[in-house]
Structures are given as C-alpha cells and as structure tokens.
Structure 1
Amino acid sequence: MKCALVEKEKAREDVETESFEYQKLVHVEHKNGFLKELWKAEFILQILMQDERFDVNKDVFKGTLIDINKIAAVRNGLTTKDADINIDADMTSLIDT
C-alpha cells in the first residue's frame, strides 16, 4: 500500500514538472510572437500608407516586406524575384486549367 502511494506521488510530481515545462514553453512562444509583432510594427511605421510597398498581404521577413505566399520560397533559398516567377507560374497553371 505504501509503495502504491509513493508511486502515485512520484507520478504526480512528474506530471507537475512536465506541466511547468510546457507552461514555460508557451510563455516563450507568446513572448516571441509579441516581439515579432513589435518588430513588424516598427518596420511598418517607417512606411507611408500611400507608398506602393504598403500591402496588408506582406509580412516582414529578414528585414524586408515580402508577400506572405512567397516567404516559404525565399526560406528555401530562392530570391524574391525567383519567388515572384514561381508564384506567377503557379498562378498561370491554375488559370490555364
């Protein structure tokens, strides 16, 4: 009986420890997300709304505004110009079908 109680207590401590670790991870992710939005706001505040670079479909990636759909291509090593070509080619194939 005493052994079962010790095992339950150990299991409870393990769960509490794991829960605390997950709470820390969630906190870090929220903090990183908040900081990203602050960096983005700082960058966007430098752009006039009438500027042609201002586009709600763009996000700040590596210090520049890039179309959200092109970020994955740029992350995979393509330049933004290559990403434009690939995205446009994909759109053309959709239109042709």
Structure 2
Amino acid sequence: MTDQTPADEPAADQPGDEHAARSRVTARAVARLKAENNTLRDRLARQSATIEELTSFKTLALSRIAAQHEEITRVRSSQPDPDTPPVARLTPVPGRSQTIGSCS
C-alpha cells in the first residue's frame, strides 16, 4: 500500500531522472513505514503491559472472592457454640440502659 500522488513523483525528462525519482519515492515510503512500524511496536508494548496488569488484578480479585466464599461457607456451616450468642442477636452494653436523644 503506497500513498503516492502525482505531487510525490517529480516529472522525469530523462530515463536517469525517472530512476532517481522512484528511488526518492521508495526511500520516503520506506522511512514512513519504518516510523509506522516503530509506532505500532510501542503501542503493542503498552497493550502488553496493560494486559499483564489486568491479568494480575483479575487473579487477585478471584482469589479474594474465593477466600470470601470459603469464609461464608465456613460461618454458615459451623455448629454454634452454646456459650456464644447468635450472630443476629446483639448483647447490651453494660451501663447503657437509657436511650439518649430524641429516640425515647
């Protein structure tokens, strides 16, 4: 794929001039393609780094979810200790028998 326009190709009066003109056009095309290649390599490197970061984040998130699931399963399936009040019941704080504020 070349982006040659009539302005890119100088008029050739002699056969040698035509060869030189094509060489200049080819050299410009090669330089442009090399620059584009470098740009694409940089972009690829940035994308690879981003993918690595996101993969690490995903792994960490999944391991945390698995740990939370195991903890929930353990808490739900454990037999309650008769001396420990149920989780849903709150024990009163000693010395705090009165309601404070407008809630009375």
Q: TM-score, normalised by structure 2?
A: 0.44
The higher relative CO (CA closer than 8 Å, separation ≥ 6) is in 2
Q: Which has the higher strand share?
A: 1
Q: Which has the higher helix share?
A: 1
Larger Cα-atom Rg: 2
